[in-house]
Amino acid sequence: MTTLREINFDGIIGPSHNYAGLSPGNLAATANAGATAHPRAAALQGIAKMRANLALGLVQGVLLPHPRPDHEWLDRLHTNYADADAVMKARALSASAMWAANAATVSPAPDCADGRCHLTVANLMTMPHRSHEAPATLAQLRLAFAHPAFAVHDAIPAPFGDEGAANHMRLATRHDTAGIEIFVYGEAGGRFPARQHVEASRAIARAHRLDAARVLYVQQSEAAIAAGAFHNDVVAVANEGVLFAHEQAFANPNGVYEALRAILPEVAIVEVPAAQVSLDDAIGSYLFNAQLVTPADGGTTLIVPGEARDHPRVWRWLQAHLAGNGPIRRVEVVNVRESMANGGGPACLRLRVVADPATIDPRFLVDTATLDRIAAVVSEHWPESLPAAAIGDPRLIEDITAARRALLSALDLEELA
């Protein structure tokens, strides 16, 4: 008998973590362009978040940093790191694979006609610095999910942009029951690009063999994209029977809610009014880019970044919801400031997979002792600081390469070198 659990696979923040400002539409990333990053602190903050998940009784996994710089990508562009210009160097060095929510779209076995858990790697084609992540992600996912219980699909081809789980939600009575899969796509975003194409979402639903009657394709509001919600998970998040969304997250919110209630009458919809928390408030605090989880004690919990607590209107709304005995029963605060400064909160850092942990390569699952080993490698090998001017430094490249190899060795995953 299999035991399906939701597992959060967090991306370990890589040693090349930097602030190059490569992502138009990501307001935090562009605002901090050129600042000095702190890869060691960033990775240790991510590890602390994983420890907090374990303390809640959640199952925790990891995904590994990609090889950086991406020399194979540069080879295909007929150049090399030494000869590339500053922008191309930064794109090749990007540590953005740390945001595992963009790694893939995941459909649990209860939703799929063949009874397997399906994962489709995201192509991330909209942004050049992310467009070369898919091959390394695919290699990790095919290793971690090699068991016959899984089907791992290659990325959807161009020109249809797919940004993975950041634009996908799932609602179900419980994680191990059949659910509703919600694919959120963009049509236009004013000054910023809409990154998720509906054609990519439809292709993923076909690949995953989903029941069309339990799939919704929902348009993200143009106002949200224009305000800096470059992914849906900046304005909405779902867990089991709870949808937590901003009033302006979707182009037609009432239509979305009606469709959900028709399929899952017991769904609890928590909509935050724009009059109390504006889009700017939500995006600045990353209120919705939170992990909405069901811990061991069963009380739906929202894991928010420290910025949400620091924002008076956002924190006031959260406290009022808790006092009102709403569906979200607890709020936990984590420090992921280094990730936040590059435009990624707690939800960006994790990919949710509902599966039997026994079917997953155990090297990708972590406990406290494993996190201790990872933290020791990070403390010894990750750069303490990475100024923007250091991106082209050959010594930095040597250090980054050695740091990643040390991590792979500590986790017995040298085949990913």
Q: Give, in order, the Cα–Cα distances in Å from 292 to each of 181, 221, 303, 330.
A: 16, 22, 6, 10
Would residue 231 show up in a list of annotated catalytic residues for this protein? yes
CA-nearest of 292, 350, 351 to 318 is: 292
| Cα 154 off chain centre by | 18
Instruction: Please identify which of the residues 231, 311, 321, 381 carries the catalytic annotation.
Output: 231
CA distance 252 to 164: 22
Can you tell me which residue has the tokens 């305000």? 227
CA distance 135 to 152: 12
**What would the DSSP string read from start to end of 303-334?**
EEEHHHHHSHHHHHHHHHHHHTT-S--EEEEE
Tell me the H-state helices in 341-393. Answer: 368-381
Would residue 163 show up in a list of annotated catalytic residues for this protein? yes
Would residue 112 show up in a list of annotated catalytic residues for this protein? no
Contact 388, 140 (CB under 8 A): no
Instruction: Please identify which of the residues 6, 240, 348, 381 carries the catalytic annotation.
Output: 348
CA distance 172 to 6: 12
Instruction: Please identify which of the residues 6, 163, 247, 338 carries the catalytic annotation.
Output: 163
| Cα 122 off chain centre by | 11
Active site residues: 163, 231, 348
